[in-house]
Structure formats: structure tokens, C-alpha cells
Amino acid sequence: MTIEFLIDIIILGFLVITAVGIAVSKDLFASVMLAGIYSLLSAVFFVVMDAVDVAFTEASVGAGISTILMLSTLTLTGQFEDPSRHNKILGFVVVFITGSLLIFGTTDMPIFGDAFAPVQLHLAPHFIENSYAEIGLPNIVTSVLASYRGYDTFGETVVIFTAGIGVLSLLGFSSGSSTRLSSVIAPMSQHKILRVVSKILIPPILIFALYVQFHGDYGPGGGFQAGVIFAAAIILYAMVFGLDTARRVINQSVVQVLSALGVLLYGSVGLISFLNGKNFLDYSALAHDPLHGQHYGILLVELGVGITVTAVMVSVFFTFASRVDKEHGGNA
Amino acid sequence: MIIDIISWFCLLVGGFLCISGAVGIFRFPDFFTRMHAASVTDSLGSGLIILGLVLQSSEWIVVSKLIFILLFIFLTSPTSSHALAKAALHSGLRPWTKPSASRDDK
Amino acid sequence: MFTAASAAILISMLLALGRAFIGPTLYDRILSVNMFGTKTVLLIAVLGFLMGRPDFLDIAIVYSLINFISIVAILRFFEYTQPSKDNVTSADEGEHE
Amino acid sequence: MSQYNYWVVIILMMIGFYIVISHGNLVKKLIGLSIFQTSVFILYISMGKVTGGTAPILDPDYTVFSNPLPHVLILTAIVVGIATTAVGLALVVRIKEAYGTIEESEIQQKDDEEC
């Protein structure tokens, strides 16, 4: 038994314990915090399973944005859940039967880590052996994400954009007049040290996001991760210095335009290759040398993804936070 | 060889400090004492572990990334502890005193 | 030796997890989430060395930054759910240093 | 022990499923849904692991790499997952405004009264 497998067993055990804790806890605030721990653990698991890009995404999404959105919802809806659960036993029976059937199903699964399992034989060998010659990037995940499965990623970007529109249309575009009342007292004004340290930390976070964006071809990273990190820096600014200050720096209507612009950038890269006589999103049409074309294409497409993800995350946070401010009078 | 021994020493002491801090967070009687146990050992423990890793790495990029991690931990960890303690004090949580001592401080 | 360090980190993670479960006040839970985050950063860094590819430290850097943001978020939104804070006027004296 | 990862995936999935079907609070249901979602991520990533392999970033020192395809699928799924969770939370906030509660049974009750 290798040391990796041992760590795998321990981390998965922690995950189960944490999930049980989330299920048992009556306090939703505690549940959200345990969910944060759950996400930290799953990221460690992804690192152990060699999925560094996935761990990167989980790191920036799970612990940061997801916790922030859950917490801002909780301040609007209340901290405790009603203990009267109607169908506890029925639920347990259903879950038990489904679980046993699924566990029975695992006996047919290939052995964990088997290099000759059906999953490993179909497409992966082609990607691993040929992607460097065809795309020219060391990070296979980026090659597959942006080039081989570029159409799929385009769809995912559109889904994120649509979700952003959905949140905006559910919770309203404008924040109305109540922000004027609240702009006098900045939140967290009593935490002086926090404000200073945040001021020091925000520029490195932004620069690091740019590094993740443009280094994603060579190491773990890419548009999705960079977008979330960039948004996290702006969210930190908005939380520490107040929503109105942040709105003055980053105009919300500009953010909304940017979220559409990212998708458009992605789509127009596809159209350009279309017009040059190749297939949609076939980047080799972008330059004389097909490899250079792939580089340009991946750079532009990742940039589009990054812009859309940043803009959607920021506008979703702004929408939730302005609701919270309206509800609670705007100051802490 | 000497560097190896120093880095192993750093890793071991760092690991020990992590465990002792965690025992502190588990065993101490109230929030403020737990926070003291956590933050004091956390800084030194993570510092020593990162130092041990720095001594083991050969590429400069790895070393600089490790130093960045150390810098960020040293910036953020005390700050969040401070903010947390302040918020707890504001919410009315009072530091634990020995049960026999006078209870007249609110 | 990396194995010993990662074992130590895993044990302290377990203890912090225990505190996150039983922690009587929410501040205890926040504290243990914070500690858990620091331990995760260390564990990912050590794992990189353990698996022989230490150039993936970017994930650890992200964690050390995102952790701070999530703690700030918890404090920021937790203030709203708190009941009145009238009884702390004496503690406010020393704020404006 | 060779199927350990898959068993854990199923246990986590069932915990998430249990929270979704037997808790009445809508925010709690969304948390359960995200546990369920993460268990699917763990399943995909476990299937992509090759024993002795390393991360799929080419390096002349290594020859065996884990399968990059599940990584790509899950990477995008995580970000799409948070975007859809945000929509779910926005719906919860609207429900709270319309009904004054986010407990499933009370919402049902108010709906029945209106009919």
C-alpha cells in the first residue's frame, strides 16, 4: 500500500465525517462552515489524485465564493432550521436501499487505479501522446479544455453567463434608493488592522490572478480559476471597504457588459476560424503556422472565459450584497 | 547532508508544534485560550515546515513560491486571529477566568 | 520525513475537525475553520514534495489567500446575525488607537 | 479495499441525497445538493487516477500520466456548479420574500391556504 493511497483513505474518511456533521447540525451557519472544510478536504483529495487543475478550481471556488454566497443568503433567511422533520424514517429507508444497490453495482467497476480500465484506453492515450505535437502546450488539461473540447467549454461559459443573468433577473438590477442612506458608515470600520492588511493583499491577489490566467498553458491554472480569483479580490474589497466604494471603483453596468463581452470574444474566435475556411473553433486557422494559431486561439479563448467568470461572480456578489445591505440598513 | 538534517529537524519540530497547537485547540477551556494555542503554534509550526521544505527544494521558482506562501500566512493568520478575537469580544464573549476568582468583571 | 510531517498535519486536522463539531460557540468553529485552512496549505505544500512534483505550489498560494477572504466574509456576515451589542461599550474605548 | 474510493463516493452521495429529501430547510437542501455534487466530482477524478501516474502536465522526467479527460469535465463542472448554486440561492431569497419562510412544510401550508 503506497503512502498516496493511505492519505487518500484518511482524507476520504475525513470527508465522510464532515458530511455527517453537516447533515446532523441544526445551525445552518455551522453547516456552511463545515461545508467550507468539506471543500478544503476535497481539494486535498484532488491533489492526491493528480488532478491539480481541479484542485485549483475547487480551492478558489469552494472555500471562497461558495461560502460567501451561502453566508449572505443566510443573513437574509435566518440562521436556524426548523427541527421538525416530517419524513425522517422514509428518507432513511430510501437512501439505504439506493445506497446498497449502488454499492452492489461497484463490484462491476474496474479496480481503482487500473491503467487498463476502459476509461484509460479510449481518448486519454491520444491526448497524452499527441497533444504536445498538435497543440504545443505542456499542460494537457488546458489543451483538452480549450482546443479539443473547445465547443464544450464554450457551452459551459454560456451556462455561467446565463446563470449570472438568472441571478440578476431574480434579485433585481438596480439597488434603488436605500444605498444613499447607508453610504456614510463603511462596514468593518472598527477592524483597522483588517483594512490595512486587505489593502496590502489585494494587489498581490490581482497579480496572482493574472499569473494564473496566462501561466495556465504551462502549469495548473487557466481562465476559470483566474476569473474566480480575480473576482475574489474584488469581493474582498467590497466586503472590507463597503459596497458603495466598490461600486464606485467597478461600475456594475460595466461588469454586466463585460460578462457578455467574454462570451462574445470566445464566440468570435470561433467565427474567425469559420471565416478562414476551417471548422468552428479550429484555431489552426488563426495563423500561418498551425501551432501558433493554436497558441493564439487558446490565449484568446481563456481570456474570454476569464472575463466572463470574473464579471458573473462579481455581479452575483454585488446583487446579493446589495440585498443584504438593504435588509440590514447597510452598516455593521 | 547537513542541510538534509537541518530540514528534517525543521519538519519534525514544525509537525510537533502543529500537533501541540491542535491539542490546545481541542483541550483548552474557552474560546480565547484556544485561540491563543492555535495562533501561537500555528505561526511557528507553519514557518518551520515551510523552512524545511525550502531547504529540500532545488529550483529557485519553488523556493520563491514557498517564500510567498510563508509571507501570506504570516500576513493573514495573525490578522484573522485578531479580527476574530475582536469580533468575539464585541459579541459579549468574555475571557475565561479561574472559577475560584472573583466573578465581578461583568 | 515528508511522510512524518504530513502525518502530523493530518492529526492536527483531525483535532481541528473535532473542535469544529463540538465548538460551543460559533467563534470556535470559525477558529477551527481558519486553522484547518492553514493546515491545508501546509499539507498541499508537503504533498507536492512527497509526490515528487513540487512545482504545483500555486494551489497552496491560492489557499493562503482565499482562506483570508473567507474568514473576512464569515466575520462580515456573522455580524448581521448577532443580537444587540449594547453590552460592549466599555470594550469600545480602546478601539481608536 | 480496491473499491474503497467508490464506496466513499456512494456514502457521500447518499448523505447528500438524505439531506435533500428529508430536511425541510431550502438552504440546507442546497448544501446537501453541493455534497451530492462533490461526490460525483470525486467519482470522476477517482476513475481518472492511474496507479503510479502523475499530474497530466508533460514533463520529460515522467512517462505515466493520469487521465486528463475527467479533469477537464470536472474543472468546468465546478464553476458551472457554483453558478447554478447562486441561482438556487437567489430563488431561496425570493421565496423568503414572498412567503416569509424557507421551510418546505410552511410554504406548502401557505400555498394550500391560498387555493
What digits encode the pLDDT tens for the residues A51-93?
Answer: 889 999 998 888 889 999 998 898 888 877 776 656 688 888 9
Residue type, C20: A
State how far the Cα of B87 lies from the Cα of B9, in Å rounded to an integer.
37
- A85–D23: do the CB atoms touch at under 8 Å? yes
Q: Does A139 touch chain D (CB under 8 A)?
A: yes
Chains with 3 or more CB pairs closer than 8 angstroms to A? B, C, D
For residue range A125-138, what is the model confidence (pLDDT) as tens digits?
888 888 888 888 88
Return the residue of C nearest to A3 by Cα.
Answer: C3
Cα separation, A213 vs A302, in Å, equals: 7
Inspect the interface and report whether the beta carbons of A140 and D28 lie closer than 8 Å: no
ipTM of the complex: 0.89
Q: Is B67 on the interface with A (CB under 8 A)?
A: no
C29 in contact with B, Cβ within 8 Å: no
Residue-wise pLDDT tens digits, A197-240? 888 999 999 999 999 999 888 888 888 999 999 999 999 998 88
Place of cell 438596480: A174
A-chain CB neighbours of C36 within 8 Å are 37, 40
* Chains C and B touch, contact meaning at least 3 pairs of CB atoms under 8 angstroms apart: yes
Is residue A183 over pLDDT 50? Answer: no
Cell triple for residue A176? 434603488
Give the 3-state secondary structure of residue B7: helix
Q: Are A229 and C67 in contact (CB under 8 A)?
A: no
CA dist C86 → A88, C78, C91, D98 (Å):
41, 17, 11, 32
Grid cell listed for D83: 453558478
Q: Is the pTM of the predicted complex or chain greater than 0.80?
A: yes
Q: Is the pLDDT of residue B20 over 60?
A: yes
Q: Are C21 and A38 in contact (CB under 8 A)?
A: no
pLDDT at A179: 46
D59 to C51: CB separation less than 8 angstroms, yes or no: no
Residues of C in contact with B65 (CB under 8 A): 57-58, 60-61
Answer whether residue B45 shows pLDDT above 50.
yes
CA-closest candidate to residue A313, choices A163, A94, A139: A163
Whether A243 shows a pLDDT value over 70: the answer reads: yes
Determine the residue type at D28.
Answer: K
Residues of chain C found within 8 Å of residue D59, distances taken between Cβ atoms:
53
Counting one residue from A and one from C, how many pairs have CB atoms under 8 Å apart?
148
Q: Name the residue type at position C40.
A: T
D12 to chain C nearest CA, in Å? 17
> How distant is the Cα of C51 from the closest Cα of chain D, in angstroms?
8
Q: What pLDDT is recorded for position A86?
A: 61
Residues 185-214, chain A, touching D (beta carbon < 8 A)? none
Q: Which residues in chain D are closer than 8 Å to A70, comparing Cβ atoms?
A: 27, 30-31, 89
Q: What percent of chain A has pLDDT over 70?
A: 92
pLDDT in tens, D16-61: 999 998 888 899 999 999 999 999 999 999 988 888 888 888 888 8
B1, B50, B73: best to mutate for the C interface, most C CBs within 10 A: B73
What pLDDT is stored for residue B28 in this prediction?
Answer: 84
Could you tell me if A75 lies within 8 Å of chain C, comparing CB atoms? yes
Q: Which residues of D touch C52 (CB under 8 A)?
A: 54
Residue A24: pLDDT over 80: yes
Instruction: Supply the pLDDT for residue B102.
Output: 46
A149 close to D (CB below 8 A): yes
Contacts of B82 in chain A (CB under 8 A): 193-194
Closest by Cα among A171, A54, A42, A168 to D48: A54
Residue tagged 465525517 (cell numbers): A17
